[in-house]
Amino acid sequence: MRISFRQIQDVRRADLFAFHTDPGNLGVLLAGWRGFELLSHSGHIRPGARVTLVQALGPLRFRMTFEHFLLEPPERFGERLVDGPFTKFEHVHAFEAEGERTTIVDEVSFELPWYRGGRIAERLIAAPLLRRFFAFRQEAYGRLIRERRIGSR
């Protein structure tokens, strides 16, 4: 399944991209997202760098390791799952400059194995959860920008 998310934030592309170059900021961005825990990261997002996290869903805990495979500053970067509950999970973050604003486009491609519900679980569980996740992330960006934790305004 493939899902795309688009949002506009009142921050310069260079500042937003710079925020993402520190993988520790994933924990800052997702503070308050229920069940999320950042376990480790490589300290950068260059290809080959890894991030390991846990995402709990009710009583279930899923440990996931992502490896960065794409880095084209300040336009885009991407990571793919190398260990976790999905058969495939690839996420590319793209940043389009709009003057002093930035359009963020997230392209996510994922598949669940048959024993985790396959396409039915993708459509009924994973896709709605990802939509809620990106809505949460959009609000988190806005808050961090207003608090001047992203950008220089």
| CA 145/CA 151 separation, integer angstroms | 6
Q: What is the pLDDT of residue 144?
A: 97
Q: What is the pLDDT of residue 83?
A: 98
Neighbours of 78 (CB within 10 A): 20
Three-state SS for 88-138 is EEEEEEEEEEECCEEEEEEEEEEECCHHHCHHHHHHHHHHHHHHHHHHHHH
Q: What is the pLDDT of residue 153?
A: 52
| Interval 72-105: pLDDT, tens | 999 999 999 999 999 999 999 999 999 999 999 9
Q: What is the mean pLDDT for each group of 10 consecutive residues in the chain (153 residues)?
A: 97 96 96 97 98 96 98 98 98 96 98 97 96 97 96 70
Q: What is the pLDDT of residue 79?
A: 98
Amino acid 127 reads: A
| CA 18/CA 46 separation, integer angstroms | 13
| CA 30/CA 23 separation, integer angstroms | 12
pTM of structure:
0.95
Q: What is the pLDDT of residue 7?
A: 97
Q: What is the pLDDT of residue 95?
A: 98
Domains by residue range for the chain, with CATH: 2-146 (3.30.530.20)
